[in-house]
Chain A
């Protein structure tokens, strides 16, 4: 019951947060100087008025806001000025599967590979392989996706011609590999560093000595006593990692010309397509809030100390 009320409480806060974001973003975009039709310099005032009427921009702002919220509750994010024949909701429905797939794949790879590298380095502490893995990780943290991706393209796409340079094609695995790797690499490096530090700290804890004194085989000491404790900092880093993958995906989708949300978002931002930008920000914010809630729940499940006293 405590868990349920915790989830409900967090969900209420999340909903409120999203409402605040919608409101702030809505008024920010509507009150801003310049609108989506500013690019066409010599727009006839009559045509302009017509366009504004089509998009409901001639109404008082309060009414526009109420309409937007009403439509939002029904799952309709309004029209897009960049793609006039399709609504924002439709565009999101198109882009979401692509973004979701590369995002989740990158996150899974980052966690698995990062933890494996960190554990490996910790178990080989102060040996040359440790220094090597951690050196690469230090570099990886400093390499943003927009630097990694072009180089990977050059190597695997152009010189070796193993993988497509860009595009989604039929959505087959070949088209995912480079975007997912570019997206995952900085997080792999960060998680590897974090895991190594946590492993070393845990290995020197008193309870590890107790476990060894019990005569447990080393494998069991590591798997049952060390890892669950060492994984906690990694779990709390997952929130920022998810945010990093989300933002990274905007850049990676741009580089590899993938038809995902990030690409629509950048197109929308360049064209001042407020409906599209607003819709995608709401979606990303909701996803991030939801995933952070899941991370918090996982943390509580892994660390009994946080469960009591709440």
Chain B
């Protein structure tokens, strides 16, 4: 180890390790590209999302006339729809993850920090929910409350926080007895302040890693819901809905499935690589 390396802080070291991970960096670039296109394409593309035309129904991809990904059964341009769908899918993934993050971190930190009976009861609740088929719960929630897009965000987030809670609880227990927490307790900081100021910031590493891996899971859940007709509804669209529509016409117009599927899989892979890269960067001892 050189002198220059030892003088850098842990964050800089982790960042350097992450930047040296080729898979993870490829993931970052690929994801940024997809996200950027998802933002820009619907704004600038010559075709609108709902712009249908009967004289160009289900045309294969071509460079002419800006139908790069072809058109669907209603003559709508797939290129703009694929990236518009990406907006929704990425947004659902992000927002649902944030919701899961907030619930999971608050739940886990409280249980772990307070300990005792509170911990026992709170974690038993998590155990019980853990044993449930989560997609079914989400479907029940969506069935009951209707498949409004905001509710889809909420339903996914409300169900996917369990692992986060377990991770944070473990960290909180490990941190609870460390000296700096003890001194915070000694000067009578209220538990809420100790949680917010010390426990949560110190548990942040594994939380970031898990959140990165949760985003693709949530995108898949949204896609599965939409695929089943229980998620995003027309005129909105998402990758899952596009894949569902494409799968129905796979024999006549395979590109309708192909392009959204490729975008979805690339996004999955990118998040997985970034998540793995973050884990290796933050905890270099974890893997050989």
Contact = CB atoms under 8 A, between A and B. Distances in A.
Contacts of A149: 247
Interface residues of A, number: 48
B89 interface: no
A280 B136 CA distance: 9
A17 B146 CA distance: 26
Given A28-B140, A138-B269, A277-B140, A270 B227 contact: no
Contacts of A289: 131
A192 B247 CA distance: 28
Interface in B118-137: 128, 131-137
A281 to B, nearest CB: 5
Nearest to A141: B272
B230 interface: yes
A154 interface: yes
B3 interface: no
A156 interface: no
Contacts of A274: 143
**Chain B contact surface mostly:** helix
A265 B139 contact: yes
A165 to B, nearest CB: 8
A14 B142 CA distance: 25
Nearest to B216: A142
Instruction: Point out which of A14, A149, A247 has the most chain B C-beta atoms below 10 A from its C-beta.
Output: A247
A29 B136 CA distance: 13
A163 interface: no
Contacts of A284: 133, 136
Interface in B91-134: 128, 131-134
A166 to B, nearest CB: 11
B265 A142 contact: yes
23 contacts: A25-B140, A32-B145, A144-B223, A146-B247, A151-B261, A154-B250, A201-B288, A246-B133, A247-B136, A250-B135, A250-B136, A251-B224, A251-B228, A266-B229, A269-B142, A269-B228, A272-B143, A274-B143, A277-B139, A281-B133, A284-B133, A284-B136, A285-B131
